[in-house]
Amino acid sequence: MTGTALTPVLAPMAQAEDGYDLWLRYARVEPSRAGVLAAHANAIVASGSSPTLAIATQELQRGIAGMTGTTPALSATVQQGALLLATPASTPSLPVKTDGLGEEGYAIRTIMMDGKAVTLIAANSDIGLLHGAYHWLRLAQSGEKLDNLDIRSAPKIGLRLLNHWDNLNGTVERGYAGQSIWDWWRLPDWKGPRYSDYARANASIGINGTVLNNVNAKADSLTAPYIAKAAALADVFRPYGIKVYLSVKWTAPMELDGLKTADPLDPAVAAWWKAKADEIYKAIPDFGGFLVKANSEGQPGPQDYNRTHADGANMLAAAVKAHGGIVMWRAFVYAHDNPDDRAKQAYSDFKPLDGKFADNVIVQVKNGAIDFQPREPFHPLFGAMPRTPLMMEFQITKEYLGQSTHLTYLGPLFEEVLDADTYAKGKGSTVAKVIDGSLEGHKLTGIAGVANIGVDRDWSGSIFNQADWYAFGRLAWDTSLSAETIAKEWAEMTFSPDPKVVQPVVRMMMGSREAAVDYMTPLGLAHVMDTGHHYGPGPWVSELARPEWNPVYYHKADATGIGFDRTKTGSNAVSQYAAPLAKLFGSVKITPERDLLWFHHVPWDYRLKSGETLWNGLVHHYEAGVNYVADMQTTWASLKPYVDAERYAQTETFLTIQHREALWWRDASIAYFQSVSQRPLPAGSAAPAHDLNWYKAQKFPYAPGHN
Amino acid sequence: MTGTALTPVLAPMAQAEDGYDLWLRYARVEPSRAGVLAAHANAIVASGSSPTLAIATQELQRGIAGMTGTTPALSATVQQGALLLATPASTPSLPVKTDGLGEEGYAIRTIMMDGKAVTLIAANSDIGLLHGAYHWLRLAQSGEKLDNLDIRSAPKIGLRLLNHWDNLNGTVERGYAGQSIWDWWRLPDWKGPRYSDYARANASIGINGTVLNNVNAKADSLTAPYIAKAAALADVFRPYGIKVYLSVKWTAPMELDGLKTADPLDPAVAAWWKAKADEIYKAIPDFGGFLVKANSEGQPGPQDYNRTHADGANMLAAAVKAHGGIVMWRAFVYAHDNPDDRAKQAYSDFKPLDGKFADNVIVQVKNGAIDFQPREPFHPLFGAMPRTPLMMEFQITKEYLGQSTHLTYLGPLFEEVLDADTYAKGKGSTVAKVIDGSLEGHKLTGIAGVANIGVDRDWSGSIFNQADWYAFGRLAWDTSLSAETIAKEWAEMTFSPDPKVVQPVVRMMMGSREAAVDYMTPLGLAHVMDTGHHYGPGPWVSELARPEWNPVYYHKADATGIGFDRTKTGSNAVSQYAAPLAKLFGSVKITPERDLLWFHHVPWDYRLKSGETLWNGLVHHYEAGVNYVADMQTTWASLKPYVDAERYAQTETFLTIQHREALWWRDASIAYFQSVSQRPLPAGSAAPAHDLNWYKAQKFPYAPGHN
């Protein structure tokens, strides 16, 4: 018997590079680099016995073992090449000053000790040491030099939180990475490894809190069984320096215990919340506090009782005050019976309340005045409430930016908002300075990101979506970082420090958000996504009950032109900005073109800076977006030799989807707007593949994330 | 600076033994066994180039490499110790007869070839070789001898299917292992590794088909986009010998294309289904066929048009006939306007249709007449429709048997049903012989299991639930296997062939289902679970709209006694069984006590065979169930040294939950039935921990699996 041998096509093991390890892969490095690493981490010396310190030393061991193949010993004595972890408490004669590092910061310095060169990670607390350990591991993974280190880092923003819009039934509102990672049903008993891996990932980028449940909250999350479940998670997260918070439903006292009212000035209501807070703190002594969505999109709130947001927030704040808790009160409000420009309503509601909030309340403001669009001007509340701490709310999950399958790196979006100048106290009054408290001297500071995390093996629905989680955490820790620096770090750790990989990947990432703006909502357009699921284009939608639910409300395209007039001749939303910006945005000629149609209704034949008409420019923007995706496909294909098969295939597939959908966005948008503008396409531009009715007929009843 | 070294508590890598690898772990064996393995598999010789053969050889390489550390080469020539894979087509002079092995069976024999001892895996097809390869790997993993092999195996049942009750939105009806593994949204583009790993697992136990969507079907699954998604899955599964099937909604022609009727005798309806079948077969040339739930629990069906189930099934059967497809028509029917005993209705509806179904229709019958209870007598339709092929429907997912967290091995349940004697053609007319076609000479044969698979990392919600998937597949392939043999195989592969592990694990498993019967529904009770989610006890529930939705309908406890009189003095359901069984079940004195209250309303003071009263015996059964769980806890604790940390902890935790819930079942049941029986507890029995109202007040609005 003879046979023809088969070509061996051994499938990779299922666990190989499936994305689960995020940026903490600790992949084996080449021998010369391994030698460098080993020489700077041949032993770990740490004093103390806290769970946090154990995590820090284990993470260093795991990382170094992964990269070099050798696990450094834990040693009681210093030797040449050791890593030392020390606090003033453990080591009174600490040779590095820890002033100014706060409770979370750290210093990393190469020092000589007893004639031996060692790397000292110093901090005021074991949590600081953990952050320092992750910093050192980042340097190690990224191929950075490890000698002559002299690093000091401490966060300027106090609360660096993820907001999970996770429901108790396991679904995730606007989640595109599978169900919630909180297995509420089997908590508090079963605590699988995913929880500590979640905490590791967050600690590695400096996130220090997590709001466990959806802002569209169920009262049940405040019942005893669910408090016990939250407490079980808090127990897992605590040694990683991460506190838990809960979103609360305003009418919980009525739903759970039959109170007749939820009026915040009713003593029985205040007493209920006080007792509930006491119950929570008994189970979770370091519970962070409450997040509240009230009087917004159908949620009940204090306005139902003719009280203000401040009345509501302050009543809750009093309930948690004695425990050191805080209340995060969202400014994302708009009302169906308010005929004013939706973009103005949060400012109109909250600006008059400035100075009226208790000192443990922080108002959480979305980055823009509408809702996490591909691009929005920064929210006019930033800089407008000097006596109130304001907290940033970014969306990491990409409800409006391609959901799980579009490569649209959000670093540039976050950076653009943080660097925006409010002019609140003159030039340089950036949004970052508002939220880090430095502009007005606030001590309570915060930034939140709506998580993009689910049970998908890769956590975030795609490998590249992990970069958005990473970037949020890194910017929350240090708003001065550039999106590009962060992309580079992430690519080095996620793929390889090889510049042949890093440079093309960073290049793809850095232009990708602008590409999404181009193929979805160029030149300041917004909220033209199809209804409900917000997946794909729906600029024609006009029949929904509430005017501000309809895309036509936002783009206002008609025979004369397109765009929302927010100048004095329109809604005058520009007046909500500081004078220099009100002037800038108030004039069509000087408004940055990227925000043009956000602030102005502009004739189709208006000349853009390029000299082409608005209509032609609009079409060209759509095309530029599509072309960028095609370029990413080419770039990614060139990386095939350098990327493992599974992660290569996923990105290749998702780029194919993205290109198809970018074309769909272009074609559907052009088909619709052309029906309004009645202009011919510019020379060289292809007609849409289908007629307008075809695009209108596309329905997606099972689109994810829409609960 | 000095420090106290921390105890190294290196966490295991997250991927280590998380259950993802199921029974295909191929864990490294001890050196002496590795030598034995290597000596019998030092090379692989296979002729041909089919994807299936490539999978078989790769699986052998993967398995042997995992167990021994050395990957056997693919060789074109025979050497001592080689594994040969051959079919009559590839090797005309095959030294083993393949007659009788069919298209899926295989022979494994140690032979001498050119003076060299080799192991030949022979089959009529590459699929047979794949099954043979998995058999050999099972022997290798289980520590069995590998020399002097002489094995022949072929399935007696043709269709061995999983039924996925998976919805298009990702939820799984009665799923307790997370969302559906079908990522419908990102199909057909993205085909992650989970699909081929699913196919591997199924092929390894001989499953050859999968119904992708819930029997409570949406019409959308028959639209072009969803057919393309199903085709993408079919492409992945095909080389593993697994066909895809779809559940269909009866009114799809009306919902999708505006037909005015779904009357099966309407030519337009028949034409619609014919065209739809053609469309499906164009995309999936080997599409298996349709599964139908009609006129059951609110689903539409032919009876809505005064047609019979046969009319409906035959119309669909005609649509797929030319393509070689089949129709599986479920007999799970009961009607809200039918006052007769629910247990009788399927028989009443279907028995008169015997002989009226087309030859490519098979009627799918649940194992019992009610609904997957912890114990039910076998369904009276088995043996009662000699001219109709009947297919078994088991539930692998444990809707009524503790869902994800109770260790209740279903092997004994499956075995009990398959071995049950229908007496249809005299003694020995077992259910197994009905469904394998041998009793009546049917060629179309089948068995289906409602899958317990979801995106949970361990696939099935717990490590031990994997055994139910495994047992279903193994019994579907060979109904003569014992549940204990299968448990042993599974434990050997899942944990270790070490008898110190295997014997206690098998002992736990083998009694676990009876324990669940004891603490939930002893002595023939059924369907006393709480409403809707079926999680936990609800024997008091009596207020639901349809009588047969209420547990009180099933147990009929009153001051005089408890149980459902299905004898001549009652519903006379016993008359649906063959005469010897009708007599057996018709007499309270000789009815097996395990089915006592299923067939009889029995006085509380009736004397059981043990001599104790029914009431006392009932209480003692509840207690025996609880005690068994406590014993499992003790046994499992003794296995801690032999089981990896993550899987040990999961089972330890789940047994804690199971024990708590078994107690809850005992206490709630006793509290309720005592309120009816007004009998004191037997001496030594503890009173329930709470009063009846406490048990009634327990609500679980977020219980999983209830869509």
Q: How far is B192 from chain A (nearest CA, A)?
A: 8
Handedness of CA A305, A310, A313, A316 (dihedral sign): negative
**Which residues does B267 contact at the CB level (< 8 Å), separation at least 6?**
none
Task: List the Cα angle B642/B648/B650 in 5-degree steps.
Answer: 170
Task: List the Cα angle B279/B284/B290 in 5-degree steps.
Answer: 75
Token duo for residue B544: 């639901």
Domain at B665, CATH number:
3.90.1330.10
Same domain as B215, residue B111: no
Which of A2, A4, A6 to probe by mutation at the B interface, max B CB count within 10 Å? A6
State the pLDDT at residue B545: 86
Same domain as A614, residue A590: no
Cα separation, B513 vs B503, whole angstroms: 17
State the pLDDT at residue B8: 34
Q: Among all residues of chain B, which has the CA nearest to that of A177?
A: B183
Q: B559 — contact with chain A (CB < 8 Å)?
A: no
Mark yes or no for CB contact B1/A45 under 8 Å: yes
Same domain as B301, residue B246: yes
Cα separation, A148 vs A125, whole angstroms: 23
Of A119, A153, A187, which residue constitutes the final position of a domain?
A153
Domain limits for position A571 = 565-600
Please, are residues B119 and B108 in contact by the beta-carbon 8 Å criterion? yes
Same domain as A197, residue A117: no
Mark yes or no for CB contact B170/A704 under 8 Å: yes
Q: For B463-489, give one letter per residue: b (16+ CB within 10 A) or e.
A: bbbbbbbbbbbbbbbbbebebbbbbbb
Of A153, A184, A208, which residue constitutes the final position of a domain?
A153
Q: How far is A361 from chain B (nearest CA, A)?
A: 31
Token duo for residue A307: 């009280």
Q: How far is B282 from chain A (nearest CA, A)?
A: 23
Q: How far is B562 from chain A (nearest CA, A)?
A: 33
pLDDT at A3 over 50: no
Mark yes or no for CB contact B10/A62 under 8 Å: yes
Sheet of A150-153: strands edge to edge?
A73-75, A43-46, A82-86, A116-122, A106-113, A150-153
Task: List the Cα angle B253/B256/B258 in 5-degree steps.
Answer: 70
Same domain as B342, residue B489: yes
* Ramachandran sector of residue A206 (left: φ over 0; alpha: ψ -120 to 50; beta: rest): left
Comparison of pLDDT for A8 and B454, the residue scoring more: B454
Residue from the list A5, A11, A90 with its beta carbon closest to the beta carbon of B58: A11
pLDDT band at A2 (very low <50, low <70, confident <90, very high): very low
* Ramachandran sector of residue B537 (left: φ over 0; alpha: ψ -120 to 50; beta: rest): beta
Residues 621-660 of chain A with CB under 8 A from chain B are 646, 650, 653-654, 656-657
Q: For A138-166, give one letter per residue: b (16+ CB within 10 A) or e.
A: bbbbbbeebeebeeebbbbbbbbbbbbbb
Q: Among all residues of chain B, which has the CA nearest to that of A90?
A: B3
Residue from the list A6, A45, A47 with its beta carbon closest to the beta carbon of B46: A6
**Active-site residue (options: B399, B421, B458, B518):** B399
Q: Among all residues of chain A, which has the CA nearest to that of B18?
A: A193
Q: Chain B residues with CB inside 8 Å of A9's CB?
A: 54, 58
Mark yes or no for CB contact A6/B184 under 8 Å: no
Q: A184 — contact with chain B (CB < 8 Å)?
A: yes
pLDDT band at A7 (very low <50, low <70, confident <90, very high): very low
Q: For A59-70, give one letter per residue: b (16+ CB within 10 A) or e.
A: bbbbbbebbbee
Mark yes or no for CB contact A74/B14 under 8 Å: no
**Which residues does A358 contact at the CB level (< 8 Å), separation at least 6?**
A313, A314, A317, A318, A321, A327
- Per-residue model confidence as pLDDT tens digits over A456-467: 999 999 999 999
- Per-residue model confidence as pLDDT tens digits over B69-128: 999 999 999 999 999 999 999 998 899 999 999 999 999 999 999 899 999 999 999 999
Q: How far is B239 from chain A (nearest CA, A)?
A: 14
Task: List the Cα angle A364/A228/A282 in 5-degree steps.
Answer: 75
Handedness of CA B336, B338, B344, B348 (dihedral sign): negative
Task: Report CA B493 to chain centroid distance, whole Å.
Answer: 19
**Active-site residue (options: A166, A371, A492, A565):** A371
Token duo for residue A34: 């391994």
φ, ψ of residue B609 to 5 degrees: the values are -60, -30
Token duo for residue A620: 């060209």
Same domain as B572, residue B628: no
Known active-site residue B399: yes
Domain at A382, CATH number:
3.20.20.80
State the pLDDT at residue A416: 98
Residues 369-388 of chain B with CB under 8 A from chain A are none
Widest Cα–Cα separation across chain A: 91
Cα separation, B18 vs B15, whole angstroms: 6
Q: Chain B residues with CB inside 8 Å of A657's CB?
A: 186, 189-190
Known active-site residue B21: no
Task: List the Cα angle B423/B429/B431 in 5-degree steps.
Answer: 105
Handedness of CA A79, A84, A88, A94 (dihedral sign): positive
Q: A92 — contact with chain B (CB < 8 Å)?
A: no
Same domain as B506, residue B394: no
Of A96, A131, A153, which residue constitutes the final position of a domain?
A153
Same domain as A75, residue A135: yes
Handedness of CA A262, A264, A267, A270 (dihedral sign): positive
Mark yes or no for CB contact B4/A86 under 8 Å: no
Same domain as A120, residue A190: no
- What's the domain count of chain A? 4
Mean pLDDT over the full length of chain A: 96
Residue from the list B3, B178, B186 with its beta carbon closest to the beta carbon of A405: B186
**Which residues does B352 contact at the CB level (< 8 Å), separation at least 6?**
none
Rounded to 5, what percent of chain B is helix, strand, coil? 40, 10, 45
**Active-site residue (options: B150, B257, B278, B297):** B297
Domain at A24, CATH number:
3.30.379.10
Q: In which residue ranges of chain B is pLDDT below 70?
A: 1-15, 707
Same domain as A431, residue A529: no
Tokens 């004739």 belong to residue = A603
State the pLDDT at residue A4: 37
Cα separation, B413 vs A564, whole angstroms: 67
Please, are residues B38 and B80 in contact by the beta-carbon 8 Å criterion? no
Q: A4 — contact with chain B (CB < 8 Å)?
A: yes
DSSP, residue by residue, A410-436: -HHHHHHHHH-B--BTBTT-BHHHHHT
Residue from the list A9, A178, A186 with its beta carbon closest to the beta carbon of B405: A186
Residue from the list B6, B190, B702 with its beta carbon closest to the beta carbon of A53: B6
Same domain as A403, residue A539: no
Same domain as B346, residue B299: yes
Which of B185, B191, B403, B700 to probe by mutation at the A interface, max A CB count within 10 Å? B185
- Per-residue model confidence as pLDDT tens digits over B229-251: 999 999 999 999 999 999 999 99
